[in-house]
Structure formats: structure tokens, C-alpha cells
Structure 1
């Protein structure tokens, strides 16, 4: 299936938010609170001129999606860029074309396409600074076969989710990474 067809199959942002059952409150918090800085006019104008669209592979249970997708929505709104979202678990054929490290179905994945449906840029699933934080959190976990692993893992996910919801420096790291990826292809 061509990327244009995947785009056409996707949910609008409004449809995606409406169907959310997990992380919805935190997602909406990031969406309402995150704003582009005033010095983004050049990038926004360039994106508007390029007439890119975005196919997002995501799931509402994913903490990374809770953080990253609202930031994409803010940029897309400013640049009049249409976004369509596909649920990963219902679209594995597409997901498997965008595996992280060739093996992981990590999400979200943002696929930027032009008017002809050709891939222009891909971003995801995490900004490098966020990946470093996650790696550090995971390094403090006991081995998988340890009796406390499940409990400590749940505690880590809770701390991480709260940081994603409240730490605006993480939001800026995501935006900086996203902006860098886009700019590399636009300019």
C-alpha cells in the first residue's frame, strides 16, 4: 500500500482523541500547554510551502505517544499540515516498515509525506535526550528474573509518565529533535 493510501485510511486528530481510552487527560494537558516559540516562523512557513502531510503510527496506551503526538499537533496546526493517525496494532504491515533498530515496533513514528505521497522525513519514537533518560531509568531496574522486577518496572513507568506529562524541558527536547529532522529535509 502506498503512503498516500495509509494517510487516507488514518484517523483525524479529532477522531483519534475521541477514541482515546488511556493517557487522554495527560495527552490533552500537553496539547493545551505546549506552544511553539515565537521564533519558529521560518520553519513554519517552509513547512506550509512544502505542503507536507503526516502519517502517525501510534497507540493511546503509549507514554511516548502521549508526549510526542501533541507536540507534533502543535507544529502541524501552525504550519497548516494535515495529520492522520493509524493505530499500530491494527496496521502492522506499515509498522513493520518502520521498525526501530530493525526489530522493535516502538511508537510513535511520524512519516512526513509530500503531496504525491512520497516519504520526505521520518521521526520517532523518541528524541535522543528522552531516550537517554529512559535508558538511565531502565539501568536502575533489577534483572528481569528478579522477584521485584515487575513492581520496579511499573514504578519506573509511572515516574516516566509523570515526567512526560509535566517536564516542559522534555517537551522542548522532543520539539528540538523533531524540528532538526524536518529541517534536514526541508532546507
Structure 2
């Protein structure tokens, strides 16, 4: 990643203007996204300046439920800038951040420092629901998996776990 590639990527609000699949859901969740004060304070306490790239596609339910809260945090945290790239148009980045070393699962958030050196990444979903998907969820048809437990998880969690896990990545990166 370099400055030119990062700055050429759309912001989240620019990306939202282009979504076609699940357009209403993307916009509804974006309007309701919240990063609470404790989370914002935690983010502001992380030293350094952070450039974050989200790899996504508009059909991804996990992205619909997490990227709006990441964007809200970035909007409210001066040292975090979020940009969005499409997975299928950026396979060099995607293939360097495979889930379990094999899957192009999204979203993936890649954290770069002020010099655009990669310092860590998060994805494709919060650990508790990822564990369920990889065990019990695999026993279900993919549509049933996402209609049921995954959707309920996101409705209850409202992005809090995803933010917590990503901030843990940034905190570790800031330490060294």
C-alpha cells in the first residue's frame, strides 16, 4: 500500500453511493451505526496515525453489519482514516489476508501506519460468530446460517465486538 493507492480508494460514504446489492440495508445500518464514547476514547488513546483499508463487496452480509460501525469510529477519531477497496479488484491485498490461509472471506480491515507500512489486520467477522460459523454453522445451508444465528448476533452486538477486536489490533500495532 502506498499513499497514492490509499487516497485513490473511496471513503466509506463514497463507497455507499455505489452499492447496488442490499442498498437499503447498507444505508439503514450506516444511519444507525454507533461508536460509544468509551470506544472513541480508547481509539483516541492509541498513538500514531492510522490508514485503514476495508476490503469488501456489496453483497457481503458481514460487511454490511460491521463496516458502518468502523466508519463511524473513523469519522469520530482524527487519527484513523478509512478507505474502501473491492475485494475482487484487489486480489493482491485479499490473497495476502486469507481467512485460515485459504478463504477470501470479507470484510478484511488492514491497518497501515503513517508511512503506509502494514501493521495488522482484522476479519472477516467477530471471533464469537466466526467460531459458531466454523462449527455449528457449517452444518446448516448457507442461507439458513445467515438468516438465523448470524443475523441475530449482529442485531444484538451492534458492532461492539468488531470494534473491540479491531482496536486490539491497533493497540498491538502501536506497541511495536
Q: TM-score, normalised by structure 1?
A: 0.81
Please give the alpha-carbon distance, in whole angstroms, between the structure 2 residues aligned to 1:42 and 1:19. 31
Question: Which one is further off, 119-128 or 173-182?
Answer: 173-182
Please give the alpha-carbon distance, in whole angstroms, between the structure 1 residues aligned to 2:68 and 2:33. 8
1:160 deviation in Å? 5.0
1:22-101 paired onto structure 2 within 5 Å: 22-47=21-46, 49-80=47-78, 81-101=80-100
- 2:169 corresponds in structure 1 to 181
1:43 deviation in Å? 2.1
Number of residue-to-residue matches in the alignment? 174
- Give the match's secondary structure for 1:19: coil
In 1, are the aligned partners of 2:105 and 2:124 still within 8 Å (CA)? yes
Give the helix-richer structure, 1 or 2. 1
- 1:163 corresponds in structure 2 to 152
- 1:120 corresponds in structure 2 to 119
- Give the match's secondary structure for 1:107: coil
1:67 deviation in Å? 1.3
- Please list every run of at least 4 consecutive aligned residues from structure 1 whose deviation after the TM superposition is greater than 6 angstroms: none
Please give the alpha-carbon distance, in whole angstroms, between the structure 1 residues aligned to 2:8 and 2:23. 22
Please give the alpha-carbon distance, in whole angstroms, between the structure 2 residues aligned to 1:180 and 1:122. 10
In 2, are the aligned partners of 1:55 and 1:83 still within 8 Å (CA)? yes
1:30-61 Cα shifts (integer Å, max 9, x gaps): 322232222235423234x5121111111111
Please give the alpha-carbon distance, in whole angstroms, between the structure 1 residues aligned to 2:38 and 2:149. 30
Please give the alpha-carbon distance, in whole angstroms, between the structure 1 residues aligned to 2:149 and 2:63. 13
Structure number with bigger Rg: 1
Any gaps of 5 or more consecutive residues in structure 2? none
